């Protein structure tokens, strides 16, 4: 197994790398499409603005490489902005198209009573508790969130987990060997490490 983490010049590389290494796996930083050679599992770290991430991926030739990877149904784990990029587009970057791998849009929280960004621990209501990715995790596991934007109009067939913040919103999708979460598993202590470990069995 060779675990790759996308390095697009941003994102929370250090925490995610440390989490993967704590599970006993070596990490290959993927800064170009050529770096995908030999990688078996690919993770896209969170942190960063939607439009800026797209620009950096395109500059490095990584966008097409990642799209080819996902199209081949190879194991991919998108985190936070790596989750949001899978959708058609975002209010954060009007006019810019996302990966368009999952039907849906990204919009900003609008509330006079809730704190934005949504930051802290929150429970995830699972759609299919029997899926192997949830093995060893508690019922309604808690994960750590930091985000101001969330997904809407998501294809129901890929919704794997829903969170409540003012209203329910999709916080996890699964499509074949693609797993993506709005929350940060690398910041979610034992639950997050277990989720990453389960993904690495894909």
What are the residue numbers of the active site? Answer: 80, 184, 186
**Torsion from C-alpha of 63, 66, 198, 15, nearest 10 degrees:** -40
- Integer CA distances (angstroms), 121 to 96, 144, 146, in order: 31, 4, 9
Cβ-count burial of 195 within 10 angstroms (0-12 exposed, 13-18 middle, 19+ buried)?
A: buried
* Angle, helices 13-22/189-199, rounded to nearest 10 degrees: 70
Neighbouring C-beta atoms of residue 201, cutoff 10 Å: 11
- Nearest Cα to Cα of residue 43 among 90, 98, 2, 104: 2
Entry field: residues in the chain: 202
Contacts of 130 (CB under 8 A, 6+ apart): none
Rounded alpha-carbon distances, angstroms, from residue 106 to 23, 30, 193: 32, 26, 26
């Amino acid at each position: 197994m060779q675990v790759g983490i996308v390095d697009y010049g941003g994102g929370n590389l250090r925490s995610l790398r440390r989490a993967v290494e704590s599970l006993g796996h070596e990490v290959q930083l993927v800064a170009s499409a050529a770096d995908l050679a030999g990688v078996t599992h690919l993770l896209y770290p969170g942190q960063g603005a939607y439009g800026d991430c797209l620009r950096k991926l395109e500059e490095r030739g990584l966008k097409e490489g990642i799209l080819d990877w996902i199209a081949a149904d190879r194991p991919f784990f998108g985190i936070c902005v790596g989750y949001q990029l899978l959708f058609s587009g975002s209010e954060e970057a009007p006019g810019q198209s996302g990966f368009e791998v999952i039907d849906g849009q990204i919009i900003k929280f609008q509330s006079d009573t809730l704190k934005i960004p949504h930051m802290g621990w929150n429970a995830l209501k699972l759609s299919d508790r029997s899926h192997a990715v949830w093995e060893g995790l508690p019922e309604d596991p808690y994960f750590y969130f930091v985000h101001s934007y969330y997904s809407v109009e998501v294809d129901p067939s890929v919704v794997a987990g829903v969170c409540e913040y003012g209203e329910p919103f999709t916080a996890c999708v699964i499509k074949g060997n693609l797993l993506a979460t709005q929350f940060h598993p690398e910041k979610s202590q034992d639950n997050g490490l277990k989720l990453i470990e389960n993904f690495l069995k894909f």
